[in-house]
Amino acid sequence: EVQLLESGGGLVQPGGSLRLSCAASGFIFSSYAMSWVRQAPGKGLEWVSGIRGSGDSTYYADSVKGRFTISRDNSKNTLYLQMHSLRAEDTAIYYCAKDRASSSCYDYWGQGTLVTVSS
Partner 1 sequence: QSVLTQPPSASGTPGQRVTISCSGSSSNIGSEPVNWYQQLPGTAPKLLIYSNNLRPSGVPDRFSGSKSGTSASLAISGLQSEDEADYYCSTWDGSLSAVVFGGGTKLTVL
78 near partner 1 (CB under 8 A): no
Exactly one of 95, 113, 115, 117 binds partner 1 (CB under 8 A); that residue is 95
Alpha carbons 24 and 10: distance in angstroms, whole number: 20
User: Counting contacts by CB under 8 A, is residue 11 touching partner 1?
Assistant: no
Q: What is the DSSP letter of 90?
A: G
Cα 74 from Cα 62, distance rounded (Å): 26
Position 23 contacts partner 1 (CB under 8 A): no
* N- to C-terminal Cα separation, the chain: 40
Q: Interface residues with partner 1 (CB under 8 A)? A: 35, 37, 44-47, 50, 59-62, 95, 100, 103-107, 109-112
